[in-house]
Structure 1
């Protein structure tokens, strides 16, 4: 075990880091995750793989909240894909922006939770997954998600989409 992770946990974590890096690069370069772009496809497929590998991790006593989050993430990615295919009519561009940003927010929940409850080794920042600080951090991340989506939607509107 590395940092308390199984082999599958290590693979899952590495794939998720690629997804997060792709998303952050897309936000910086393209001002959002653009599904049809190369960077967008890297984000989408590594997010799918992150969810799928996450289904095999049962460190906290069986099927639970992280698995539900994986299912919801896959469903939201499906909605984003439909939007990219223009299957949602005039709202497609907006739905894609919201959906991709939401999946990134979903990535950040376990990223912050697992990092803050595991690191530094031997003296993690937070005592466990139910620490009240995690609820506050998740709330702040949600506000950042809302701000980011708002900026992206304003940009779409200015572009006439």
Structure 2
């Protein structure tokens, strides 16, 4: 096991956590200011690229000596980001592009919160964490609440997009879309 430092994290874990905190802050700011995460805003681009970096640095963390659920979540997150970026450019999804973009980028935002709660609650307070491990039933309940919040958030975004309100212009429509 690698030597640990701040909060029991390796150097890579510390960098990974710092980058993920920037991504979460950018995602929150984008959702509150722009009502969506999109590559058409600086906050959206910051969220997407720091989320990519979060995933890539996460692939180097092997807390349990091999590929695990967090690595699978990183792959799923990268796929959601790719779908969101393609949709945001008006590729492949035609008139549904803005909805797909909202769903995909919001999913990648949700995916930050699952390991955030897991790592925080199984590490802190130091020496006596609130939960014993990542399989604690409380984490399943938290994930359920996060899913409901995601569905509410996506529903609000879709409603806003359908109503044509908001200051963000629609994705460009490509020929043949």
Say whether the fold is shared (TM-score over 0.5): yes
Take 1:81 and 1:13, find their aligned partners in 2: how far apart are those partners? 24
Take 2:111 and 2:97, find their aligned partners in 1: how far apart are those partners? 21
Q: Which runs of 5+ in 2 are unaligned?
A: 171-177
Aligned with 2:101 (options 96, 119, 130): 96
Q: Find out whether 1:134 has 2:139 as its counterpart.
A: yes
| Alignment length (residue pairs) | 161
**Further displaced range: 42-51 or 118-127:** 118-127
Q: Deviation above 6 Å: which 4+ runs of structure 1?
A: none
Name which structure has the greater RCO, CA cutoff 8 Å, separation 6+. Answer: 2
Determine the structure 1 residue equivalent to 2:110.
105
CA RMSD of aligned residues (A): 1.0
1:5-154 equivalent positions in 2, closer than 5 A: 5-87=9-91, 88-154=93-159
Deviation at residue 27 of structure 1 after TM alignment:
1.0
With the length of structure 1 as denominator, give the TM-score of the two structures. Answer: 0.97
Deviation by residue 1:60-104 (Cα, 9 ceiling, x = unmatched): 221111000000100110000110110121110000000010001
Deviation at residue 125 of structure 1 after TM alignment:
1.2
Take 1:4 and 1:85, find their aligned partners in 2: how far apart are those partners? 41
Take 1:158 and 1:120, find their aligned partners in 2: how far apart are those partners? 45
The structure whose Rg is larger is: 2
Take 2:11 and 2:123, find their aligned partners in 1: how far apart are those partners? 16
Tell me the SS of whatever aligns to 2:135.
coil
With the length of structure 2 as denominator, give the TM-score of the two structures. Answer: 0.89
More helix by proportion, 1 or 2?
1
Take 1:60 and 1:39, find their aligned partners in 2: how far apart are those partners? 34
Q: Which runs of 5+ in 1 are unaligned?
A: none
Take 1:134 and 1:5, find their aligned partners in 2: how far apart are those partners? 21
Take 1:57 and 1:30, find their aligned partners in 2: how far apart are those partners? 33
Take 1:81 and 1:116, find their aligned partners in 2: how far apart are those partners? 32
Deviation at residue 19 of structure 1 after TM alignment:
0.1
